């Protein structure tokens, strides 16, 4: 009888471990899928901004803005800020963050 209980306990543990592993895999797949979708959307937005003439033209102004901690705000940079905020209205970024992003792309 003791062996039967031991085998039953082992079988239950194996089932529980398998269910937990499956749950972990499903959860991980869902998280990875969500991150990939977010990454794809960000990548699409970044590539469209990277190819934009207004944003590319503002690189020198963005460098001046970053170097002077926001004291120098060129016309091209202001135009790029406005353009980016129109293209991605849900973006919650400061001018400094946008200027650094322009330098990065």
Q: Tens of pLDDT along 5-51? A: 666 666 656 655 555 444 545 555 555 555 555 444 444 455 567 77
Answer whether residue 46 is part of any domain: no
State both tokens at 58: 């503002």
58 and 34 fall within a common domain: no
Number of domains in the chain: 2
Q: What is the pLDDT of residues 46-79, one digit of tens each?
A: 556 777 899 999 999 999 999 999 999 999 999 9
34 and 66 fall within a common domain: no
56 and 99 fall within a common domain: yes
87 and 57 fall within a common domain: yes
Question: For the chain, how many helices (H) and strands (E)?
Answer: 5, 0
Residue span of the structural domain in which 29 resides: 1-41
Answer whether residue 76 is part of any domain: yes
Burial of 40 (0-12, 13-18, 19+ CB in 10 A): exposed
pTM over 0.85: no
């Amino acid at each position: 009888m003791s062996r039967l209980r031991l085998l039953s306990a082992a079988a239950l543990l194996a089932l529980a471990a398998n269910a937990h592993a499956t749950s972990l895999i499903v959860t991980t797949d869902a998280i990875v899928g969500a991150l990939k979708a977010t990454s794809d959307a960000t990548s699409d937005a970044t590539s469209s901004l990277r190819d934009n003439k207004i944003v590319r033209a503002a690189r020198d102004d963005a460098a001046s803005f970053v170097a002077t901690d926001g004291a120098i705000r060129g016309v091209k940079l202001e135009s790029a800020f406005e353009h980016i905020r129109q293209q991605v209205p849900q973006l919650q970024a400061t001018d400094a963050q946008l200027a650094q992003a322009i330098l990065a792309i």
